[in-house]
């Protein structure tokens, strides 16, 4: 069932049940999809406003102990040149973020236990005291004690995608670390208990992802009341298990990893989770370098993540190949994104840009 174009759009996902979400995911009619884009953009405007918040991304390490089947950083990839940024290099990036007016820095890495609890806590304290920005972490599945120490040091937010709500698919793409079985849903609840703003999300079109699974993913966003939700297309990496042997579902069941499907999921996420911060991702910009970010912002998103990682490291943070903006300096990235945001009539947000609950 679809909304009647002559009737008001449902608010806060109130009119979106399982069948309606599934129907939208399978919809290809451009006229009807325009209704979806308009509904998501209207919900975005009324729920979080016209500001686009910039989160300065610092990819602090590409070391990883995991063997994820989709990620080029996996521990068994011998082709990647590994690096780990120093504390002073990270602080220099944070100061650059402050200079550009960003309210938040996002420190991201593989699951790297060379990043010790004490070292990371000290970096967080220095950013908070010397630079005064909000701190978001995306460092994988760390023990609760580590997460608690970093929250106490001043970290504000934590991002960890659950990737898929299909547990069999999850086990296939995300093998356990030794005897430790992953339970990202439980860990996300621990993060909330510790006082973090909590972000999660999924890949769109990963081999083995069915339409039913993706509907469940979207329903999980709503039931978890996430503060931040990142969704982006699966982009295969040739040096991964899925890159070599994807094993997709039959075409009528397999979700495609297309630009169009990504926009649908962004729009539905906004309607289901009106107050969440939703980025227009680098992966989306990678599959449409011309205006992918702008279209994401016009279809429900309200965040972009300009890259602050020094160029000599950035090219080695290859979760997937041919990433957008790989050779741009942080200053060039900021200038480009500022112009893109302003070209669609949106304003650049000020301050940390955390979730505002009404």
- Under the banding of pLDDT at 50, 70 and 90, the label for residue 140 is very high
- pLDDT band for position 98 (cuts 50, 70, 90): very high
DSSP 120-181: HHHHHHHIIIII--EEEEE--S--HHHHHHHHHHT--EEE---B-S-HHHHHHHS--BTTB-
Total domains in the fold of the chain: 1
> 237-246, pLDDT tens digit by residue?
999 999 999 9
In a domain? residue 355: no
Q: Is residue 13 part of a domain?
A: no
**In-domain check, residue 132:** yes
For the chain, how far is it from start to end, CA to CA, in angstroms? 30
Examine the pLDDT at 11 and tell me if it is beyond 80.
no
Q: What is the pLDDT of residues 257-296, one digit of tens each?
A: 999 999 999 999 999 999 999 999 999 999 999 999 999 9
Give the domain range for residue 282.
18-348
Q: Across residues 141-161, what is the average pLDDT?
A: 98
Q: Which of 246, 215, 266 is nearest to 40 (CA)?
A: 266
Taking residues 11-30, what's their average pLDDT?
84
The answer on pLDDT for 12 being more than 60 is no
Does 41 reside within a domain?
yes
User: Would you say how long the chain is, in residues?
Assistant: 358
5 lies in some domain: no
Is residue 216 included in any domain, yes or no? yes
- Please give the share of the chain, as a percent, with pLDDT higher than 70: 96
| Position 354 in a domain | no
Both tokens assigned to 9: 């759009």
Nearest Cα neighbor of 89 from 121, 111, 58 is 58
CATH of the domain at 145: 3.20.20.70
Cβ–Cβ < 8 Å for 284, 320:
no
* Residue 178: band (very low, low, confident or very high) from pLDDT cuts 50, 70, 90: confident
Residue 10 lies in a domain: no
């Amino acid at each position: 069932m679809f909304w009647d174009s002559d009737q008001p759009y449902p608010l806060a996902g109130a009119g979106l049940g399982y069948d309606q979400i599934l129907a939208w995911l399978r919809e290809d009619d451009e006229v009807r999809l325009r209704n979806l884009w308009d509904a998501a953009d209207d919900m975005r405007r009324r729920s979080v406003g016209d500001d686009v918040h910039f989160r300065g991304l610092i990819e602090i390490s590409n070391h990883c102990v995991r063997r994820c089947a989709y990620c080029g950083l996996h521990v068994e990839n011998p082709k990647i040149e590994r690096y780990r940024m120093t504390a002073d290099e990270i602080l220099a990036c944070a100061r650059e973020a402050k200079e550009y007016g960003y309210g938040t820095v996002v420190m991201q890495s593989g699951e790297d236990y060379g990043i010790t609890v004490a070292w990371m806590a000290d970096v967080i304290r220095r950013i908070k005291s010397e630079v005064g920005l909000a701190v978001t972490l995306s460092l994988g599945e760390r023990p609760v004690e580590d997460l608690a120490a970093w929250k106490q040091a001043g970290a504000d937010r934590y991002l960890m995608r659950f990737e898929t709500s299909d547990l069999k698919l999850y086990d296939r793409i995300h093998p356990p670390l030794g005897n430790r079985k992953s339970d990202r849903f439980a860990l996300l609840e621990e993060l909330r208990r510790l006082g973090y703003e909590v972000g999660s999300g999924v890949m769109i079109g990963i081999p083995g992802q069915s339409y039913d699974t993706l509907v469940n993913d979207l329903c999980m966003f709503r039931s978890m009341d996430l503060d931040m939700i990142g969704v982006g297309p699966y982009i295969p990496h040739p040096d991964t298990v899925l890159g070599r042997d994807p094993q997709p579902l039959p075409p009528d069941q397999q979700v495609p990893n297309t630009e169009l499907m990504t926009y649908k999921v962004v729009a539905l996420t906004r309607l289901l989770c009106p107050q969440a911060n939703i980025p227009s991702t680098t992966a989306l910009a990678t599959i449409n370098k011309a205006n992918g970010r702008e279209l994401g912002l016009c279809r429900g998103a309200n965040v972009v993540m300009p890259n602050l990682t020094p160029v000599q490291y950035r090219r080695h943070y290859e979760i997937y190949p041919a990433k957008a903006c790989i050779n741009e300096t942080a200053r060039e990235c900021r200038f480009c994104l500022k112009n893109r945001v302003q070209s669609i009539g949106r304003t650049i947000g000020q301050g940390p840009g955390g979730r505002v609950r009404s």
